[in-house]
Amino acid sequence: MIGIINYGSGNIEAISNIYNRLNIECKVINNLKDFESVDRLILPGVGSFDECMKQLNNSGFKEKLNRIVLEDKVPILGICIGMHIMGNSSEEGVLEGLGWIPGKIKKFDKSLLVNKPYLPHMGWNNVNNIHDHIIFTGVNENQGFYFVHSYYYECEKEQNTLTICNYGLDFSSSIFKENIFGMQFHPEKSHSNGENLLSNFAKLDIC
């Protein structure tokens, strides 16, 4: 069972809509008790880095998450700001991130972009699956995914970059480390590519 973490940020409904259509069991996690029956997690996130961290800190989920993600190795997928908060810090805010995958969140450099609109990076862009990871099975890289963001994840270690995308510069459009995955794009808004990815995540055999 997939648990979508509801800590007050993120488009929960759009993700559960996709899993419902795929006939994959999922539920929304509203309190600590809800974690009991789930074996993988989705961490959504919209808005700003600090706002998401603040809400996560207030939710009472943080300790529990650290334990089941880092010790029990439960697979987790962070989307957009849900990915950003897996890093150490962000230029968008002052709060400390979860620090699960070493990295810093940086703002795109407008001077590298030639056309208006400069920011956000919004729309469909292709990705390059440099690790040939199984979670991207069935994904058409040229079609790519729907993005909307002004900040990107700069991984400290190259081996944590799962796919790259270009917007003025090459950036990590998805990242991973063992059981932890982060996606900058929105699989829940990316048609068959996103559906394949969410379905692959549900079936992923990590251990």
Partner 1 sequence: MLRSRIIPCLLVHKKGLVKTVNFKNSKYVGDPINAVKIFNEKEVDELIVLDIDATKDQRGPDFTLIRNLAAECRMPFCYGGGVSTVAQARKIISLGAEKVALSSAVINDISLCKAIGIAVGVQSVVVVLDVKKRKLLGGYDIFTNNGQVKSKRRFKEFVVELDQIGVGEIVINSIDNDGVMAGYDMDLASLVRDLCDIPITILGGAGTLDHIKKLISKFKVIGAAAGSLFVFKGKYKAVLINYPNREEKFPLYKEIRK
Q: Is 178 near partner 1 (CB under 8 A)? A: no
The pairing of strands 89-90 and 103-107 is: parallel
CA distance linking residue 207 with residue 73, whole number of Å: 9
Q: Is 148 near partner 1 (CB under 8 A)? A: yes
User: Angle at which helices 12-21 and 191-203 pack, to 10 degrees?
Assistant: 80
Peptide bond into 44 cis (omega under 30): no
Binding-site size for partner 1 (CB under 8 A) equals: 35
Q: Is 167 near partner 1 (CB under 8 A)? A: yes
How many whole angstroms from its chain centre is CA 196?
15
Among 115, 132, 158, 205, binds partner 1 (CB under 8 A): 115
Pick the closer one to partner 1 by CB: 51 or 154.
51
Least separation in angstroms between CB 95 and partner 1: 18
Pick the closer one to partner 1 by CB: 66 or 166.
166
188 included as an active-site residue = yes
Q: Name the token pair of 113.
A: 């972009």
Which residue blocks in 22-99 are alpha helix, DSSP H?
49-59, 62-66, 81-84
Pick the closer one to partner 1 by CB: 71 or 115.
115
CA distance linking residue 156 with residue 98, whole number of Å: 15
Least separation in angstroms between CB 9 and partner 1: 9
Least separation in angstroms between CB 118 and partner 1: 6
CA distance linking residue 89 with residue 105, whole number of Å: 6
Residues near partner 1 (CB under 8 A) are 11-14, 17-18, 46-47, 114-126, 143, 146-148, 166-167, 186, 188-192, 194-195
Q: What residues act catalytically?
A: 80, 186, 188
